Structure 1
């Protein structure tokens, strides 16, 4: 079968997006910046200033940082990076922490003066960690996405600066080439060897943390509660699998996950329901990988118009992506997938993001449920929400565009109010 026009770009997008991370990605990004800043300083910091945008504050405030002995918050994330961060491991920066390192983090929180400063301006994703010792200082700046380091500086010497024209420290493949139609065509002609490494790791990592969450003892045990209350139907297992992964991850589980659109929760929500349906169907590995490619790319496509962080809950996009992947896995192609996406977005596009925390697991379950409802509505009788009803517009790309506009522009004020509520302003 002939390759699609943007085949190579789609493969690169999957490679760029499906990367491992340990811990909620916003505190991990702070830890990464702190580790880079300390390496540039070359000394144990006496002071640490963490300048962050509002969405970073929102997503770090209530989540447990892994490998810290249960610490939460911005100062904890920075201290972890300073005491034990491996800057070369990027989003696995805290994956090789020892018991001695954890003691060092707690000591650093006592001896180093930490200050958190809200960033000025309207940039949604901004982190700048500055450390000081004696007469010297160093900083690391991360902008727009979690590993996009744009500046490292020691005193007045700039050690690294991204080119302004490149949009940051990492050149990424143009996401505007994504469309639902070509995503389906890409999956149909995909040589799975081209994406096997990324997708096999996604299956292995995300399945493992989901199984850990289902054991119980993590967060509010949303996944375990779903299984206990509603039984063993595949739709229940799909929701529970995704929720259980979030139960564990939001409460400090030290197992890595493979992220999507910069988010572990979105990575698990996108993939685990598809994996559960594939197991139930006895699908082959190749069939699973093609369906996961659809799920991942549909999620990324939606998030491209929304942005990495916003007041719009990313679980909605991921639950929608998972449903698209399930629709494809069960034999649906463009018509079924497009109507599944539109139906899902009509159902739950109003869910807000009020930061990373244990209740994300319940939102994930709701988003997957909406996705499955959207799918089953259409395949059982052709039921659909049509253009002109609310934000739904004829043509799936138009509906995706409307949701991106709603989330990126319409919910700016909502985002500010959420942050004000969370910090008690």
Structure 2
């Protein structure tokens, strides 16, 4: 791809927009970030807090540990941590600097203050409003569409900031993702000047491998990585799955190590990168080859999620794990034909995995999705594939990806509602939190 191609700079910009550090599951961290912004705006300790959240946010906050809180979970704990100890200028690392001594202060705020959670009626998949009250004063921060997209800030009746002119794709503030396609992604990965992305991708390697190693070495979540290795040994195909799963287990259980996210998700960031790094080290790939393979995996993940949406009943680990298979194909010398077949084969295998919120079982779903990505490539090498007309598979990788987007975005909308009803109880839109 020539540097004059409109996709060239756009793809660089997309990677810089998507590959950002975050500490903890991104939905509770978004709550903490909004709460910290609102506290700074209020300029006083709030007496009352109202959290207005869409159901998909609740789904992804309910079961994960909020990092640096001493093991607390839920929407109220996320907001309390942001208010008491968050640093809003750290954005998705808003809780990174919380001291252990502040855990008790967070717990006291949670126990003593009136923190109300109500359901958003905006109709948006991702919508969060934090309102803080102190005496006659009120501060409000609203985040919509994605985790850092502040669309409204109010101090009493004064609008401090407003940007409501954006849809879910937020094309006015983010680079146009409709430019993405598999052929162009591969051309870009092969030709881009790596100096423009090396530091970004090295950060992804360093952060995501560190939490993966921590996940294997510690006792986190369901310890899926250790189970895989203990059961099937240390072959690279198992190790790639195990380390990715271990990173997720640590992250879901409150590990305070940061992750470089993809498409708004740390689990997707881990699944898209860790297996590729594991394979590169096994193969003895040079640094540049690894970086180009990560570009393939990251951008194909983002491409898939553009059609599906950031939050859905369709598990994002599927998108990332199958894309990791594409990055692994690249490491073995595969280009468009190999990668396209790998992706379609993998998606045809695991596209039925649902998202029922962030929690330890995400690690198992990551392991299954990475396995499908590896299987997709091994199928291609042996002359095996799924054909157009086989279920949701259609001739041509982009046509199949459009079907996946339609399935995740439209077809699973009612599934998403039913999942939330099952998780939260038919008679209560939001969980009782302790």
- Bucket of the pairwise TM-score, normalised by the shorter protein: over 0.9
Choose which of 297, 300, 309 in structure 2 pairs with 1:298. Answer: 300
- Confirm or deny: 8 A CA contact 1:319 1:368 kept in the other structure: yes
Instruction: Tell me which residue corresponds to 2:235.
Output: 233
What's the CA shift for 1:163? 5.1
Instruction: Tell me which residue corresponds to 1:187.
Output: 189
In the alignment, structure 2 segments of 5+ residues that lack a partner are: 427-434
Instruction: Give the Cα separation in 2 of the matches to 1:365 and 1:169.
Output: 33
**Residues 36-59 of structure 1: per-residue CA shift (max 9 Å, x gap):** 111111111111000000100000
1:219-298 superposed matches below 5 A: 219-298=221-300
Greater mean alpha carbon deviation, residues 403-412 or residues 166-175 = 166-175
1:364-375 superposed matches below 5 A: 364-375=366-377
- Confirm or deny: 8 A CA contact 1:150 1:169 kept in the other structure: no
Instruction: Give the Cα separation in 2 of the matches to 1:170 and 1:417.
Output: 33
What's the CA shift for 1:99? 2.2
1:162-201 superposed matches below 5 A: 162=163, 164=165, 171-201=173-203
Instruction: Tell me which residue corresponds to 1:28.
Output: 29
Choose which of 180, 195, 213 in structure 2 pairs with 1:211. Answer: 213
Instruction: Tell me which residue corresponds to 1:342.
Output: 344
Instruction: Tell me which residue corresponds to 2:432.
Output: none
* Total equivalences in the alignment: 424
Instruction: Tell me which residue corresponds to 2:2.
Output: 2
Give 4+ residue runs of structure 1 displaced > 6 Å after superposition: none
- Confirm or deny: 8 A CA contact 1:216 1:224 kept in the other structure: no
Instruction: Give the Cα separation in 1 of the matches to 2:329 and 2:123.
Output: 38
What TM-score do the two structures reach when normalised by structure 1? 0.98
**Residues 297-342 of structure 1: per-residue CA shift (max 9 Å, x gap):** 0000000000000000000000111001111111000001000111
What's the CA shift for 1:232? 1.1
What's the CA shift for 1:2? 3.3
Instruction: Tell me which residue corresponds to 2:313.
Output: 311
Instruction: Give the Cα separation in 1 of the matches to 2:130 and 2:164.
Output: 20
Instruction: Give the Cα separation in 2 of the matches to 1:241 and 1:111.
Output: 40
What's the CA shift for 1:291? 0.3
Q: Find the residue that maps to 1:59 and give its secondary structure.
A: helix
* Aligned alpha-carbon RMSD (Å): 1.2
- Confirm or deny: 8 A CA contact 1:124 1:309 kept in the other structure: yes
- Confirm or deny: 8 A CA contact 2:2 2:8 kept in the other structure: no
What's the CA shift for 1:366? 0.4
What's the CA shift for 1:166? 8.1
**Residues 214-267 of structure 1: per-residue CA shift (max 9 Å, x gap):** 013100100111111111111001000100000100000000000000000000
Indicate how the Cα distance of structure 1 residues 50 and 415 shifts in structure 2: closer, same or farther if over 3 A, else same: same
- Confirm or deny: 8 A CA contact 1:47 1:114 kept in the other structure: yes
Instruction: Give the Cα separation in 2 of the matches to 1:358 and 1:288.
Output: 29
